[in-house]
C-alpha cells in the first residue's frame, strides 16, 4: 500500500513538473512573439520616419539640388574649349578676301568664337592656335604665268589681326600675324601640274598667339588670286581654337 502511494506521488510530481515546464515554454514563446512584434513595429516606425525625413529633405533641398545641377552645367560649358572652323568660297562681291561660310560642310563653333562680317571674333583673352589654308588652281600655259619670272605664279595668303590696343578701327590698324607665299608653275622634275598645264597648290599656315577679348581676325588675298580659288569642301578653310 505504501509502495502504491509512493508511485502515485511520484507520478503526480512528474506531471506537475511537466506542467510547469509547459507553462514556462508557453510563456517564453509568448514573450518571444511579443518581442518580435515590438521589433517589427519599431522597424516599421523607423522606416516610416526615415522616409518622412528623406521626403522633407528632398522637398527642402530641391532648389539647392537644382542650383547645383545648373552650376555644374554652367561649369561644364565654361570648360569647353573655344573653337571655330570655317569653309571658304570665292565670292565676286568680296574683292579682298575669301568669303568665309558657316553652317556648311565641316563648320563648327563653340566656346564663344563666332564669325562676324567675315572676321573671327575672340571671346576672351588667352592662347589660341590660328590656322588657314587656301587652295588654288592656276594655268601655267596661259595668262596666269608671270613672263618676267619665267612662267611662275606667286600665290599668297595672309591673316591679319585687329585689337583695341592697336588704335582706331580702320584698315591701317590691322597687323599681319600670318603670311605665306608659294610659287606655282615651276618646271621641275616633279610637280603638281596636270596634262593641260593647270597647277594645283595649297598655301597653309598656322601658329599660336596670345589674343585679347574682342580681337578680330581676317584673311587678305589679292583679287587676281581669288578667281583661282579652289573652294571644294576641305580645300580652303580658316579656324581658331583655344589652348
The full set of domain ranges for the chain reads 1-79, 83-242
Determine the pLDDT at residue 41.
Answer: 53
Give 216-242 pLDDT, tens digit per residue. 999 999 998 999 999 888 999 999 999
pLDDT of res. 33: 56
Please list the ranges in the chain whose pLDDT falls under 70.
1-79, 141-151, 186-197
pLDDT of residue 152: 74
Q: What is the pLDDT of residue 218?
A: 97
Q: Report how far residue 34's alpha carbon sits from residue 36's, in angstroms, rounded to the nearest whole number.
A: 5
Q: What is the pLDDT of residue 9?
A: 47
Q: Which CATH class is domain 83-242?
A: mainly beta
Could you give the dihedral angle defined by the CA atoms of residues 61, 65, 70 and 72, in that order, rounded to the nearest 10 degrees? 140
Cα 237 to Cα 215: distance, rounded to the nearest angstrom: 19
* pLDDT of the residue at 29: 55
Q: How far apart are the first and last CA of the chain?
A: 116
User: So what's the pLDDT on residue 64?
Assistant: 60
Q: In a 3-state reduction of DSSP, which class is residue 20?
A: helix
- Write down the pLDDT at residue 210: 97
Amino acid at each position: 500500500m505504501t509502495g502504491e502511494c509512493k508511485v502515485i506521488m511520484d507520478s503526480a510530481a512528474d506531471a506537475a513538473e511537466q506542467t510547469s515546464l509547459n507553462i514556462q515554454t508557453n510563456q517564453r514563446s509568448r514573450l518571444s512573439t511579443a518581442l518580435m512584434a515590438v521589433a517589427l513595429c519599431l522597424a516599421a516606425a523607423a522606416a516610416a520616419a526615415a522616409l518622412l525625413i528623406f521626403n522633407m529633405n528632398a522637398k527642402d533641398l530641391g532648389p539647392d539640388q537644382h542650383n547645383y545641377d545648373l552650376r555644374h552645367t554652367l561649369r561644364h560649358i565654361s570648360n569647353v574649349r573655344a573653337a571655330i572652323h570655317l569653309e571658304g568660297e570665292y565670292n565676286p562681291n568680296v574683292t579682298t578676301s575669301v568669303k568665309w561660310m558657316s553652317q556648311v560642310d565641316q563648320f563648327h563653333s563653340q566656346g564663344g568664337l563666332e564669325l562676324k562680317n567675315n572676321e573671327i571674333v575672340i571671346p576672351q583673352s588667352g592662347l589660341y592656335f590660328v590656322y588657314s589654308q587656301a587652295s588654288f588652281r592656276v594655268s601655267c600655259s596661259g595668262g596666269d604665268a608671270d613672263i618676267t619670272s619665267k612662267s611662275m605664279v606667286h600665290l599668297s595668303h595672309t591673316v591679319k589681326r585687329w585689337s583695341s590696343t592697336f588704335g582706331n578701327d580702320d584698315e591701317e590698324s590691322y597687323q599681319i600675324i600670318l603670311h605665306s607665299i608659294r610659287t606655282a608653275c615651276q618646271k621641275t622634275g616633279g610637280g603638281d601640274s596636270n596634262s593641260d598645264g593647270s597647277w594645283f597648290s595649297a598655301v597653309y599656315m598656322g601658329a599660336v598667339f596670345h589674343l585679347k577679348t574682342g580681337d578680330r581676325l581676317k584673311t587678305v588675298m589679292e583679287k587676281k588670286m581669288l578667281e583661282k580659288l579652289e573652294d571644294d569642301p576641305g580645300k580652303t578653310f580658316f579656324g581658331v581654337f583655344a589652348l
